[in-house]
Amino acid sequence: MLVARSFLFSFSILWRLCLVAPFLLILLAFFGIVGLFVLTIAAAVSPLLAILCVAAASFAISSSFPIIVASRLGFQARGEQSSYGYGRMFMYSLIYGLVEAFILVLIIGIAIVVGVVVTGSGFSMAQLETSLTGATELYVSGGTFVIVGFIRAGMLVPMAGAAIGRDGNNQPHTPFYDFGTRWRSLWMTNMLAMIVGPLAIVALAIVWVQYGGSAVDDFAAAYESDNLSGVDIGWELIIFFVAVYALSLWTISWQAAAGVLAYMEKRDAQHIEEVVHSDDDRAAAQNLWKDRMPPGRR
């Protein structure tokens, strides 16, 4: 089952991602500086173009690019090397990030229109917030989470192709090629990763608050006084933040692991099918050649 196999494979990606992540932040900072220059030009051309650039960059930095990098590490764990550098991978992540941003904005827009129609309020956000109940907001948030996860699941295999630089047909990567491959299994994996990861962080925080002792009180007091420089960094605090760091990256690693495994299964199945067709064509050609020979020479 893909969910179980990707769960086990995610730990092979996780330790690599933990080592790469600090350098990844430096790389993203460089891309951010370049992005500010591009954003300035885009804003001068069109405010709408600038908004699209910001939306694409936001989703790329927060989700698409980390998953593509984790997928690249997953292929390396399987002994396969990528054909592209990080620059081109980031450009592909902007494309996937823009699609995710567009879908999210579309869902929010539809939810607002439905809320206006159902409640009979105007398009004023103040009126809409007072008209919507807590249950309605929960349904909208839950529905948005499920739909966005559904779209993300469909893009995991294409993002794996962007990570290695080749699609399942062994051609240079084309965005969204093999979109929707193993959709159901990848959606289940994506939902579990997005739920289990944050819940594990919350559980870890609860344990730390219960058993952290004076370290928790000192950190809480420093946080309330906006003076974190005076916090005594002990081993309890270090272990807590390292664990949160690892769990956050594990959520990404699990999604990437599922995408890599689904990509490799699709590619290998297609390769076997091509070999079978090649053997069949060769046998058919031999039979045709024999049929055309004189009877005494067959």
Q: Name every residue whose Cβ is closer than 8 Å to that of residue 215 and which is 6 or more positions away in sequence.
A: 232, 234, 236, 237
DSSP state of 166: B
Q: Helices (H), strands (E): how many in the chain?
A: 9, 0
Instruction: Confirm whether 297 is domain-assigned.
Output: no
Instruction: Confirm whether 296 is domain-assigned.
Output: no
Predicted local distance difference test score (pLDDT) of residue 143: 78
Instruction: Confirm whether 69 is domain-assigned.
Output: yes
Instruction: Confirm whether 190 is domain-assigned.
Output: yes
Alpha-carbon distances of 24 from 65, 70, 184, 224, rounded to whole Å: 10, 11, 31, 31
Provide the whole-model pTM: 0.79
Predicted local distance difference test score (pLDDT) of residue 101: 82
Residue 38 CB neighbours (<10 A): 13
Instruction: Confirm whether 188 is domain-assigned.
Output: yes
**Cross-strand bridge partners of residue 166:** 172
Residues of the chain with confidence (pLDDT) below 70 = 115-137, 212-234, 273-298
Predicted local distance difference test score (pLDDT) of residue 255: 95
Instruction: Confirm whether 225 is domain-assigned.
Output: yes
Give the residue numbers spanning the domain of 39.
Answer: 2-289
Tokens of 45: 């051309």
Instruction: Confirm whether 137 is domain-assigned.
Output: yes
Domain count, the chain: 1
Instruction: Confirm whether 240 is domain-assigned.
Output: yes
Predicted local distance difference test score (pLDDT) of residue 216: 60
| Residue at token pair 């591009």 | 38
